[in-house]
Structure 1
Amino acid sequence: MENFDDFFTETFETATLANNLVTLRGLRETATGPSSPESILQAIEESREHLTEHLPWIRDTDIFDIKKRIRSWILNEKFRQGGCWLIYKNPDGEISTDSTTPVAGAIMMDVNIRNHSATLSYWLRKGYTGQGIMTEAVKLISAFSFATLKLNRLEILVSVDNPKSAAVAKRCGFTEEGINRDFELINGKFVDHRRFSLLARDVYSCLPE
Structure 2
Amino acid sequence: MSTANPDPILLDFPESFESERLIIRAPLWHDGAAVNEAIRESIDELRPWMPWAQNTPAIEETEANLRHARAQFIGRKDLRLLLVHKETGQFVGSSGLHQIDWQTHKFEIGYWVRTSCQQQGYITEAVHAITDFAIRELSANRIQIRCDAHNLRSAKVAERCGFTLEGILRNETCDVNGSLRNTMIFSKVRGVEY
TM-score > 0.5 by shorter chain: yes
1:95 is matched with: none
1:56 and 2:45 matched: no
Measure, in 2, the Cα distance between the counterparts of 1:60 and 1:12. 36
1:171 Cα deviation after fit: 1.0
Amino acid at match of 2:48: E
Partner of 1:192: 182
Percent of residue pairs identical: 26
1:115 to 1:156, Cα distance in 2 relative to 1, 3 A: same
Assess, with a 3 A threshold, how the Cα gap between structure 1 residues 89 and 6 changes in structure 2: closer, same or farther: same
Query: Runs of at least 4 residues of structure 1 off by over 4 A?
Result: none
User: 2: CA distance between counterparts of 1:69 and 1:181?
Assistant: 31
> What are the ranges of 5 or more consecutive residues in structure 2 without an aligned counterpart?
none
Task: Give the letter aligned to residue 97 of structure 2.
Answer: M
Q: State the Cα RMSD in Å.
A: 2.0
Query: SS in structure 1 opposite 2:169?
Result: strand
| Pairing of 1:17-166 with structure 2 (within 5 A) | 17-28=17-28, 30-31=29-30, 36-62=31-57, 63-91=59-87, 100-110=88-98, 111-166=100-155
Distance 1:83 1:15, change over 3 A: same
SS of match in other structure, 2:111:
strand
Tell me the distance in 1 between the aligned counterparts of 2:65 and 2:169. 26
Q: Is the 8 A contact 1:154 1:198 kept in 2?
A: yes
Preserved contact between residue 96 and residue 110 of structure 2 (Cα < 8 Å): yes
Q: Distance in 2 between matches of 1:61 and 1:130?
A: 23
* Alignment partners' CA distance in 1, 2:124 and 2:4: 28
- Whole-angstrom CA distance in 1 between matches of 2:12 and 2:166: 27
Normalised by the length of structure 2, the TM-score is 0.88
Partner AA of 2:76 in structure 1: R
- TM-superposed CA distance for 1:12, in Å, is 4.7
Q: Does the CA contact (< 8 Å) of 2:26 and 2:70 recur in 1?
A: no
Residue type of the partner of 2:6?
A: D
Q: Which runs of 5+ in 1 are unaligned?
A: 92-99, 205-209
Deviation at 1:120, TM superposition (A): 1.2
Please give the secondary structure, in 2, of the residue aligned with 1:27.
coil
Alignment check: 8 A CA contact 1:26 1:86 kept: yes
Structure 1 or 2: more helix by fraction: 1
Instruction: Please name the residue that 2:6 is paired with.
Output: 6
User: Residues of 2 paired with 1:82 and 1:14: CA distance?
Assistant: 14
- Name the CA distance, whole Å, in 2 between partners of 1:27 and 1:129: 21
1:71-95 residue CA offsets vs partner (Å, 9 max, x unmatched): 332222122112111112333xxxx
